[in-house]
Chain A
Amino acid sequence: KAGVTQTPRYLIKTRGQQVTLSCSPISGHRSVSWYQQTPGQGLQFLFEYFSETQRNKGNFPGRFSGRQFSNSRSEMNVSTLELGDSALYLCASSFWGSGDEQFFGPGTRLTVL
């Protein structure tokens, strides 16, 4: 069974641009969560989608948004990039969400110049 895949693996953008990251969950998984990992703030929850609906959202500004498609693939978008958005963005998938094992993807390394 294929694992969680994330594309692209690396991105370099400049301040003010926007970016879209993609996550394909394990087949059959309906929950997709997104996390931001930085040396200073650690791992922080962005949001979670289940069956195309956002079920929970972390404390991030509205520049961070996401969506999920009918095949459970998910995208997250960051608009008006800031230097502080440079991070490793991880997505995780599971069958139902709460309590299930979360399977993580390799992440997308975003660098904002």
Chain B
Amino acid sequence: AQTVTQSQPEMSVQEAETVTLSCTYDTSESNYYLFWYKQPPSRQMILVIRQEAYKQQNATENRFSVNFQKAAKSFSLKISDSQLGDTAMYFCAFMNHNTGTASKLTFGTGTRLQVTL
């Protein structure tokens, strides 16, 4: 079974600054996906960024980038130029890569990020 660990329950960052959220995972699989999801207060969960384990290049999406260290089983999220709208709960998640099979996400416990003025 896979496990995902987020060791930072809460973080705070000032607007325009950079913040890094940590995530580690444990799996015996060699092919999988990793995700960061954002859940704003009272709003629905949306995908921030996705990383395929077989790709060595770190994924980036505008102000969001990841540092994927496969050997260390680490998958951190960096948010640059933080904005007030980034305030949310951030979940790291794992999914096995088996084409045509079930889409089961295993989530970490989340990091609550507060962006302040």
- Residue numbers of A with Cβ under 8 A of B are 3, 31, 33, 35, 42-45, 48, 50, 55-56, 58, 90, 92, 94, 96-107
Q: Is B47 on the interface with A (CB-CB < 8 A)?
A: yes
* Interchain CB contact under 8 A, B101 and A101: no
Binding site for A on B (CB under 8 A): 33, 37, 43-47, 50, 52, 91, 95-110
Q: How far is the CA of A42 from the CA of B91 in the complex (A)?
A: 10
Closest to A59 in B: B1
B interface: dominant SS: loop
B111 to chain A, nearest CB (A): 12
Query: How far is the CB of A95 from the nearest CB of chain B, in Å?
Result: 10
* Distance (whole angstroms) from the CB of B93 to the closest CB of chain A: 8
The CA of A97 and the CA of B95, in the complex, are separated in Å by 10
- 19 additional A-B pairs beyond A55-B101, A98-B99, beta carbons within 8 Å, are A3-B44, A33-B104, A42-B108, A45-B104, A48-B104, A50-B102, A56-B104, A58-B104, A96-B103, A98-B96, A98-B98, A98-B100, A98-B103, A99-B97, A99-B103, A101-B47, A104-B37, A105-B44, A107-B44
Which among B37, B102, B106 is the interface contact of A97 at CB below 8 angstroms? Answer: B102
Please tell me which one of the listed residues A43, A102, A106, A107 contacts residue B103 in the complex, with CB atoms under 8 A apart: A102
The contact of B105 among A3, A50, A102, A107, by CB within 8 Å, is: A102
Q: Chain B residues near A107 (CB, 8 Å)?
A: 44
**A102 and B47 contacting across the interface, CB-CB below 8 Å:** yes
CA distance A88 to B46 in the complex (A): 16
Question: Given A98-B97, A99-B95 in contact, is the A56-B102 Cβ separation under 8 Å?
Answer: yes
Taking CB as reference atom, which chain A residue is nearest B109? Answer: A42
- A97–B98 alpha-carbon span in the complex (Å): 9
Closest to B37 in A: A104
Whole-angstrom distance from the CB of A99 to the nearest CB of chain B? 5
A20 to chain B: closest CB distance in Å? 21
**A–B Cβ pairs within 8 angstroms, 30 of them:** A3-B44, A31-B102, A33-B103, A33-B104, A35-B105, A42-B109, A43-B91, A48-B102, A48-B103, A55-B102, A56-B104, A92-B103, A92-B105, A94-B103, A96-B99, A96-B103, A97-B100, A97-B101, A97-B103, A98-B97, A99-B33, A99-B95, A100-B103, A101-B47, A102-B105, A103-B47, A104-B44, A104-B45, A105-B44, A107-B44
